[in-house]
Amino acid sequence: MRLFQFILFFFTGLQLLKVQAQEKTGYIPLTKQERQKVELLLSKMTLEEKAHQLASFYPNANKRLNIPHMQAGECLHGVVAAGTTSFPQAISIASSWDPSLVERVSTVIAKEARALGIHHCYTPMLGVLRDARWGRFEEGYGEDAYLVSKIGVAFINGLQGRGKNRFDKDHVVATAKHFVADSEPLLGANGAAVEISLRSLHEVHLPPFRAAVEEAQVGSVMPAHHTLNGVPCHINTYTLNDVFRKEYGFDGLGVSDNNDLRWVQDRLFATESREETIRKALEAGVHTELAFKQTWADKRMYGPPLVAAVKNGKVPVKLLDDAVRKVLEFKIALHLDEEENPLGKEMTELQKGTKDADVNADVFFSQIDGSLSSPRSNYKTVLNNPAHDALALEAARKSLILLKNNNLLPFKKSQFKKIAVIGPNADTIRLGTYSTQQPKHFITVKQGIETAVGKNAQVLYAKGTDIQHPKDTQLAEAVAIAKEADVCILVLGDDDKTVMENVDRDDITLPGDQDKLLQAIVATGKPVVLVLLHGRPAAIQWAKDHVPAILDGWFLGQETGTAIAEAIFGDLNPSGKLTVTYPRNVGQVPAFYNTLIPGRPRMMWGTTEGATYPFGYGISYTQFKYGVPKLSKASMKASETVFAEIEVTNTGKVAGDEIVQLYLRDDISSLARPIKELKGFKRISLRPGETQKISLPISSRSLEFWKDGKWITEPGSFTVMMGPNSEELKTIKLELTQ
């Protein structure tokens, strides 16, 4: 009997050891054997072979050791490659206030990326947007750190997968960028220096990155172009190491932004030599380099200059080994050796067509499709999955915002005999930046209207104006068509030159002669629906005052025209809400709702202080009535969670979605606090006459603020606010005790 028990115990122990050996652990999930494989490969590499592993968006396979190639790519709102699904732009899909939708979208993006041979995506962009002049505005999710965190975490989880699906064959490594505070640059200029307090850094700009690590274990991080309080972000050990790694717990891959390692020395003049630049970047945990279209030569910092610096002792080999180790860990975690063509393309293929020159943004966007990726044999089946198109349409529907409606919308499909569709964005592809140059399809607003009305109405069309080079004859033609029509749908906004990386503005009016076109069409006296397809908040106060209906889509993706037509004709009840404030003019920039309380009341000569539209705003074809907010407890300890509750009723005649928002204000604090801060939200669907009770949690995390180098809470009174946007709020008091 004892012998039997011993044998049973022995084999049970062996089985347990085997299971433990196969268990994946760590920030980058690997088994014990896989980590041993990393060390074995590292020990067999030459110095030059190690350096090649640090090349991002460049051949990095090793045929001698059978180390696979890891391909990077752009996936902001769809994979930047021909024939992929184009979802609403980042600022647009955030307007859905629907993290579950966002995660489903990024799950599809990851699946298409892997089918195309892309394993590492340079997205999401987690900047907290505060300056409408900034050219990269459309790449972000909004002006509030809490909202950006929730949308960003959802996008990362979709890209990387959860649980057993994390980094599997249908998921990729996500990149939190740009670290940090690039969305509040001086003068609104991309890459400009950022000078802000540590308090603003921790309370406004760092929280989305903190959430990316703590809630989604984001795989990689990309530093920003600029200097932060005088220190280039690519060699900033305080933000990258002290905060991101030590405080938040990040243990993933650092990747440089394009050519920024070299520019630490050549543009920012923060180092004296290549060796110093390389050493400081590696010390800050920037493990790989993106140097698009740079050959294996002196302008590729982690190329020959790195090899030389290690050989002459200026860069410790341990720094190089630590960086290579991270790359190998991800290559194994992603199972890249199981791909159909794991070694990718030959380096010589890239060298032949590459000029050793700096590459500007326009060239980068147009050439990025010509990547090194090796698509799987079934990639066309994956890209052409009808479910992906259906999801793109769902995302467009939920992201579309109704800003104004004086009982003009929705139309009946037989209501008008002649419908004028006018504007530079009415019948052309508008996807926004970091988009595929060859979408699988794109439905324009004109096409959507034509499909919706069929033979019930005649659709007239005029461009009205070119955004870049307007002509007077275009305006006259548009006015003539407007006079002939019964109603006008005017589609205005941005093109791919007026809002993009490295293209900022000192004016936020509609670019070109679009305001002139708008006023001319309104002057005809015909009913006008203004549709905005754009990438930054526009100064549309005149439109708010004079146009009866305004729909805002930002850039809605490939299904733009279908979603807008559905909203115009009542097949869709718009439900999106703004994630940014719409300033009246550029003089109100930077504009954001959660400002600190001023020391004196502000007076403006010749105008008023308020924004055109506030954060969180958006209306519906139905009406929602909010009850009186209640708390599950009137007071709480820091260790407890209290729930804020409110009843919302659809008092209208059609079904609709509402986004219930929760804000908090610290009534008395040792430091001045914002007048309100978003701390919760929930998207709900209500039938006519239906009432739902919404419950949103409030924890000590909701009440904390950053002071003297740490997060703290202070006992006292807090105002709890609930409502449909950041201004129309109902309040109740909460007490935080010791």
Residue-wise pLDDT tens digits, 414-429: 999 999 999 999 999 9
List C-alpha distances in Å: 386 to 85, 259, 352, 592. 10, 38, 38, 39
What b-and-e string marks burial along 405-441, b requiring 16 or more CB atoms within 10 Å of the CB?
A: beeebbbebeebeebbbbbbbbbbbbbbbbbbeebbe
How far from the centroid of its chain's Cα atoms is residue 260's Cα? 21
- The C-alpha atoms of residue 516 and residue 288 are separated, in whole angstroms, by 49
Query: What single letter denotes the amino acid at residue 695?
Result: S
Predicted local confidence at residue 363, as pLDDT: 36
Q: Is 418 helix (H, G, I), strand (E, B) or coil?
A: strand
List C-alpha distances in Å: 5 to 1, 11, 12. 6, 10, 10
Task: Tell me the pLDDT of the chain averaged across its residues.
Answer: 93
In terms of Cβ atoms closer than 10 Å to its own Cβ (0-12, 13-18, 19+), residue 395 is buried
Which residues make Cβ contacts (< 8 Å) with residue 191, sequence separation at least 6? 182, 185, 225, 226, 502
Low-confidence ranges of the chain (pLDDT < 50): 16-17, 19, 347-370
Closest CA to 235 of 176, 197, 278, 192: 278
Closest CA to 227 of 260, 191, 175, 253: 191
Predicted local confidence at residue 362, as pLDDT: 38
Kindly list the structural domains of the chain, giving each domain's residue range(s) and its CATH number in brackets, ordered by start: 24-370 (3.20.20.300), 394-588 (3.40.50.1700), 624-736 (2.60.40.10)
Continuous H helices in 617-725? 700-703
Which residues make Cβ contacts (< 8 Å) with residue 164, sequence separation at least 6? none
Residue 706's H or E segment, with its range, is strand 705-707
Q: Which residues pair with 532 in a beta bridge?
A: 492, 552
DSSP state of 345: S
What 385-390 contacts at long range (C-beta under 8 Å, 24+ apart), as own/partner pairs, is 387/108, 388/85, 388/108, 388/112, 389/85, 389/440, 389/558, 389/559
Residue with tokens 């007071």: 635
List the catalytic residue out of 98, 131, 144, 257. Answer: 257
Predicted local confidence at residue 349, as pLDDT: 44
Predicted local confidence at residue 371, as pLDDT: 52
Phi, psi of 681, rounded to the nearest 5 degrees? -160, 160
Predicted local confidence at residue 561, as pLDDT: 98
In terms of Cβ atoms closer than 10 Å to its own Cβ (0-12, 13-18, 19+), residue 80 is buried
Task: Print the SS3 string covering 114-147.
Answer: HHCCCCEECCCECCECCCCCCCCHHHCCECCHHH
- The C-alpha atoms of residue 125 and residue 112 are separated, in whole angstroms, by 20
DSSP state of 77: S
Continuous H helices in 485-524? 514-523
Give DSSP secondary structure letters for 549-566.
EEEE-SS--TTHHHHHHH
Among this protein's residues, is 257 annotated catalytic? Answer: yes
Beta carbons of 282 and 315 less than 8 angstroms apart: yes
Predicted local confidence at residue 606, as pLDDT: 84
Closest CA to 574 of 694, 655, 687, 688: 655
- The C-alpha atoms of residue 97 and residue 240 are separated, in whole angstroms, by 29
